[in-house]
Structure 1
Amino acid sequence: MTFVVLATEPDDPTAELAYDDRVTVLDRLLGQLAAHNVSDVRVVARPEAASVLRKNGRKVVESPDLATDLFEIGKLARAADELYLAHADLVVSEELLIRLLRDKTTTAVTAKQPVTGARPAVRIARRRVVSAGSPFHQVTDPGGVFRGALKVVDTALLAELCERLTMLVDLLPRVDVPVRQLGRRSADGLEVFVDNEARDEFDRAVAQDPVLGSTAPRGDDAAGLLLVALARAGVPVAARNVDVLVCERVLAPEQAAAARRAVEAVDEDRVRLDAAVKSNDGFFTTYFVSSYSKYLARWAARMRLTPNVVTCISMAIAAVAALWFAAGTRTGLVTGGILLYFAFVFDCVDGQVARYTRKFSTLGAWLDATFDRAKEYLAYAGLAVGYSAAHPGPGDVWGLACAVIILQTCRHMVDFSFAVHKGAAPPAPIKELPLDVPDDSLLDPPARPAPRRGGLGMLAVRASAALERVPGARWAKKIIILPIGERFALIALTAAFFDARVTFLALLAWGGLAAAYTLSGRVLRSLA
């Protein structure tokens, strides 16, 4: 892992620009990298600033111009397994830096905000940078800006792009109009039908101090130019939005002070904890579990409980719930329902602990999926045993219990096969474009209005998209498919207030409706 810090502003103002009373902006960034065991840090600097920047044993690479910047970055890329680029005047939140270091793909830190010209503009589609601008390259319909931090995992390709740009950069003419607005309408999304994909962090624009981002850098921007090269080479560059975190270049003392205030105003542990909660859960999970389970996850993390331990605790609680169900008494049914609810709570907590502590494993994923089914089917068995004990003779509910298990097994099989097929389809490739073409229109040429597609599938898709604009309809669509949270709640409540027969009949009725809804929706979406 190699981290390249670009101190290429004229006269290098970052060398002495104070972040606070103790450290400069550059020292803060280098200290953050050292805290995360990033040992190979190279500072690319202009010769006039190199002597100042070499203090404290910094590894400084002297470079007189942009072409040499690119040449030196290419040399470092050839020897690295992954390479990071960031400006020396960058103030970045600790949490955001950790996320960048842990990303597994080529990633650019971006912000969804109006384009002013003070920062390189980017166009983002499906969370990828599909076009980027530079002083030599126009970008069409940008919706955000590049914040000056880039990670590249294909270092061999990066070295090749650096070599190409080194020979080309002095010949590139500057563009007169860096941004072109065409106002393309986004295509209809098929994902809104049936089980809508969740909104993620990228949907929120960032409110920031007006002082930040108000000054355009005067120096060369090798990171921004390489982002253009990666996008035009068809490399999928993930757009990591800053969201409520901070990632901003500071070029004056007032901007450094504003960035420090922005960093200090964010509770990064709270941001990390909130990010541990899935944003696309069902209604019951979102409002009756995740509203407080994240605090249990933080407590579990502080008690050094691993996600797998929490998964086993959830399984143990479900087993005890099944034993209470098997008693067949009203007390047993009520107690079993309460315990089953808390088994589901800890089932949510284990994933939140994994995301909060950033500890993931194949074993953990397998245990979580296996125990989810085991807990549910164990509850069915306990309810059937308890009903038989409380109602001896003919008319037991074992047939209903088996029917529910068969229905749920078929639903899980269909869901799994659909998810695998859906995940197997690669994202649409980004068109390649030569670096010496200033206009990016060939990347995504303005197409004529497509004919309105017909058919039953598209009719269903449009109806679903229209429902998304109706308040509460999105939650209704999530509830009707009977996800695991609603299913556990249904088991617990019907068992506590009625009996096992009512529980199984309710599961068959609602589960059958959910199966018909999801299956018909997926068939129609596939046709569309």
Structure 2
Amino acid sequence: MTVAVILATGRALGAPGTDPPAHLARLRDRLATVNVPDVHVIGRPGAGVASGAVVAPGAGAGSAIVSPDVAGDLRRIAQLARRADVPVVILPADLLVSAGLLDRFVNGTAAPLAAVTVPPGEAGPSGTASARVRRGRVVQVGLVPKVNAAFPGVLRFDASEGHAIAELAESLADLAGPGTEGDAAGLLLAGLVRLGRPVAVHPARAAKGGVCRRVAGDEPGGAALREARVALEAADAGYEDDRRLAAAVKADDGFFSTFAVSSYSPRLVRWLAGRQVTPTTVTVVSSVFALLAALWFSAGTRPGMVTGALLLYLAFVLDVVDGQLARYTGRCTEFGARLGLICGQGKEYVVYLGLAFGSAAATGGGGDAWALAVAVLILQAVRHVTDASYEARTRPPHVPLQRTPVNLERALMANLERALIAKPDGRLSRSRALYWARKAWALPVGERVALIAVTAALFDARATFLALLTWGVIATVTTLAGRIRRVSASRTA
């Protein structure tokens, strides 16, 4: 969570012909889309920008704060900073900012102190400060001899910096004195730079679809403002499409599915959607690849085993893609779900048969490969039945099986980063390593495909079946034990 402070002061009050409450309502709605409902609006007495119409009941937490001048703005910010236990972002009321840029700045910034910067001349005519950035940090603000950036008034600090920001804001308020106007965010940034505090740069241009511009003071309907709004609409459309694509990827998939397929499959999903390819078509093509893999496996030769392993991986990739494509395009149908389930299980069984035929061809009879193949088939059938029974018992009755709601707040790359990296130095945390070890230990379909492909390509069908049986039996026993323990605990509770 993050707290937002909107400065509806100075030129952000609006020029003649503009409507400051409209600026505020638009910015507040934009903050709500990036999960920032706690908004505090600082405005001037009698201006109407800090009214109850702006901070409306039921719209989230926050307050309307009246301040007479920039010194009062700084003191109000100091009060909020002292009691903040979450990051705080400061924005001007007349900000025109794309949702993607705002989301990345609010939720994706790791630096304790950060500021949005734009190229000189692209921040709009209202309340911007000249700046110089070097090596990802702001090094000068205000009277800068070599300007290479502009500061549009968007500043962020972590709760750990709250007391330092409060002390700086109070000192600047004493220097400003009563009755003066100015940009509180710009003064804070200048003070931080003068104190030598490292303020990280979040460049708007570097972000995909990054639009960050002040609009107060623009001529209503002017060309610059129209161009900025067109760019904002395009950036927001791309951001929503990215969110929808990210939401199409299952956040709780297995390790192999997540990192060996879903790390790049969204690009393939978007390409297929742009060419009107249906999920059913992808399912059929995936089944064809699996059949071809089984045919190559049935040859029993080393080239055949390697080729079959590659075709099996491609079949699994398309098996993942068809579900992502269905969720992305909204074509989640009962027929498609049943077809995917039937084909998914059928492809695996066909591959087992191909491996058994290949072992027979290679050894002149197959040895015990057929017995092992039957044992693996029985084991997987039992696992499918027990998994379906457990899911049916534990799923809430009001949630449909195939049409679960899509969580648009999840992003693919954010999921991957949170899954892998939980420390600043990028090392895999013990908790995440244990989480993924447990996911892989259950031997889901992705891990089974990887196990089949690797053992078949490097060894033979017998080694594949033995590996599947050994790992599968252990995974089944441990999974059932865990489920029995959870059911017993829930009944006791």
* TM-score of the aligned structures, taking structure 2 as reference length: 0.51
What letter matches 1:329 in structure 2? T
Q: Which residue in 2 is equivalent to 1:376?
A: 348
Q: Does the C-alpha gap of structure 1 residues 313 and 386 become closer, same or farther in structure 2, counting only changes over 3 Å?
A: same
Is 1:112 aligned to residue 112 of structure 2?
no
Are the equivalent residues in 1 in contact too, given 2:15–2:217 (CA < 8 A)?
A: no
Distance across 2 between alignment mates of 1:252 and 1:469: 50
Distance across 2 between alignment mates of 1:329 and 1:368: 31
Q: CA deviation at 1:291?
A: 1.9
Q: Which one has the largest radius of gyration? A: 2
- 1:520 counterpart (457, 460, 481): 481
Are the equivalent residues in 1 in contact too, given 2:356–2:366 (CA < 8 A)?
A: no
| Secondary structure at 2:268 match in 1 | helix
- State the Cα RMSD in Å: 4.8
Q: CA deviation at 1:205?
A: 3.7
Q: Does the C-alpha gap of structure 1 residues 421 and 16 become closer, same or farther in structure 2, counting only changes over 3 Å?
A: farther
Is 1:499 aligned to residue 471 of structure 2?
no
Distance across 1 between alignment mates of 2:18 and 2:283: 49
Q: Does the C-alpha gap of structure 1 residues 137 and 279 become closer, same or farther in structure 2, counting only changes over 3 Å?
A: closer
- 1:328 counterpart (300, 313, 323): 300
Are the equivalent residues in 1 in contact too, given 2:300–2:357 (CA < 8 A)?
A: yes
Q: CA deviation at 1:501?
A: 0.6
Distance across 1 between alignment mates of 2:58 and 2:265: 48
| Secondary structure at 1:346 match in 2 | helix
Q: CA deviation at 1:278?
A: 2.1
- 1:484 counterpart (445, 449, 463): 445
Aligned length: 304
| Secondary structure at 1:472 match in 2 | helix
Distance across 2 between alignment mates of 1:270 and 1:368: 25
Are the equivalent residues in 1 in contact too, given 2:273–2:329 (CA < 8 A)?
A: yes
Could you report, residue by residue, the CA deviation over 1:134-193 in whole angstroms, capped at 9, with x for unpaired residues?
A: 866899xx7x99xxxxxxxxxxxxxxxxxxxxxxxxxxxxxxxxxxx9x9xxxxxxxxxx
Q: Which residue in 2 is equivalent to 1:356?
A: 328
Are the equivalent residues in 2 in contact too, given 1:277–1:290 (CA < 8 A)?
A: yes
What letter matches 2:431 in structure 1? V
What letter matches 1:483 in structure 2? P
Distance across 2 between alignment mates of 1:330 and 1:287: 28
Distance across 2 between alignment mates of 1:279 and 1:114: 25
Are the equivalent residues in 2 in contact too, given 1:325–1:336 (CA < 8 A)?
A: yes
Q: CA deviation at 1:17?
A: 4.6
Distance across 1 between alignment mates of 2:359 and 2:381: 23
Could you report, residue by residue, the CA deviation over 1:262-294 in whole angstroms, capped at 9, with x for unpaired residues?
A: 766564244433333222222212221122222
Are the equivalent residues in 1 in contact too, given 2:357–2:366 (CA < 8 A)?
A: no
Q: Does the C-alpha gap of structure 1 residues 258 and 329 become closer, same or farther in structure 2, counting only changes over 3 Å?
A: same
Q: Which has the larger displacement, 395-404 or 339-348?
A: 395-404
Q: Which residue in 2 is equivalent to 1:313?
A: 285
Are the equivalent residues in 1 in contact too, given 2:18–2:216 (CA < 8 A)?
A: yes
Q: Which residue in 1 is equivalent to 2:413?
A: none
Distance across 2 between alignment mates of 1:513 and 1:303: 44
Q: Does the C-alpha gap of structure 1 residues 309 and 426 become closer, same or farther in structure 2, counting only changes over 3 Å?
A: closer
Q: Which residue in 2 is equivalent to 1:510?
A: 471
Q: CA deviation at 1:469?
A: 5.8
Distance across 2 between alignment mates of 1:394 and 1:354: 41
Distance across 2 between alignment mates of 1:136 and 1:273: 33
Q: CA deviation at 1:109?
A: 6.0
Q: Which residue in 1 is equivalent to 2:378?
A: 406
Q: Does the C-alpha gap of structure 1 residues 275 and 333 become closer, same or farther in structure 2, counting only changes over 3 Å?
A: same
Distance across 2 between alignment mates of 1:349 and 1:138: 38
* TM-score of the aligned structures, taking structure 1 as reference length: 0.48
Q: Does the C-alpha gap of structure 1 residues 485 and 17 become closer, same or farther in structure 2, counting only changes over 3 Å?
A: farther
What letter matches 1:115 in structure 2? D
Are the equivalent residues in 2 in contact too, given 1:17–1:252 (CA < 8 A)?
A: yes
| Secondary structure at 2:309 match in 1 | helix
| Secondary structure at 2:364 match in 1 | coil
Distance across 2 between alignment mates of 1:318 and 1:14: 65
| Secondary structure at 1:280 match in 2 | coil
Q: CA deviation at 1:14?
A: 13
Are the equivalent residues in 2 in contact too, given 1:18–1:253 (CA < 8 A)?
A: no
Pairs within 5 Å for 1:130-169: none
| Secondary structure at 2:350 match in 1 | helix
Distance across 2 between alignment mates of 1:271 and 1:379: 36
| Secondary structure at 1:382 match in 2 | helix
Distance across 2 between alignment mates of 1:15 and 1:488: 66
Q: Does the C-alpha gap of structure 1 residues 522 and 14 become closer, same or farther in structure 2, counting only changes over 3 Å?
A: farther
Q: CA deviation at 1:355?
A: 2.3
Q: Which has the larger displacement, 380-389 or 350-359?
A: 350-359
Q: CA deviation at 1:329?
A: 1.4
Where relative contact order (Cα < 8 A, 6+ residues apart) is larger, the structure is: 1
What letter matches 1:292 in structure 2? Y
Could you report, residue by residue, the CA deviation over 1:427-477 in whole angstroms, capped at 9, with x for unpaired residues?
A: 9xxxxxxxxxxxxxxxxxxxxxxxxxxxxxxxxxxxxxxx98624222111
Q: Which residue in 1 is equivalent to 2:261?
A: 289
| Secondary structure at 2:293 match in 1 | helix
Could you report, residue by residue, the CA deviation over 1:298-327 in whole angstroms, capped at 9, with x for unpaired residues?
A: 221122210100010000110111111111
Q: CA deviation at 1:491?
A: 0.6
- 2:391 counterpart (394, 419, 426): 419
What letter matches 1:516 in structure 2? V
Q: Which runs of 5+ in 1 are unaligned?
A: 1-12, 20-24, 27-86, 94-107, 120-133, 146-180, 184-200, 215-243, 428-466
Q: Which residue in 2 is equivalent to 1:149?
A: none
Distance across 1 between alignment mates of 2:58 and 2:261: 49
Are the equivalent residues in 1 in contact too, given 2:360–2:366 (CA < 8 A)?
A: no
Q: Which runs of 5+ in 2 are unaligned?
A: 1-13, 43-54, 64-82, 86-102, 110-114, 117-151, 157-207, 219-224, 400-427
Is 1:300 aligned to residue 272 of structure 2?
yes
Is 1:475 aligned to residue 422 of structure 2?
no
Distance across 1 between alignment mates of 2:444 and 2:278: 26
Is 1:390 aligned to residue 362 of structure 2?
yes
Q: CA deviation at 1:490?
A: 0.6
Are the equivalent residues in 2 in contact too, given 1:325–1:333 (CA < 8 A)?
A: yes
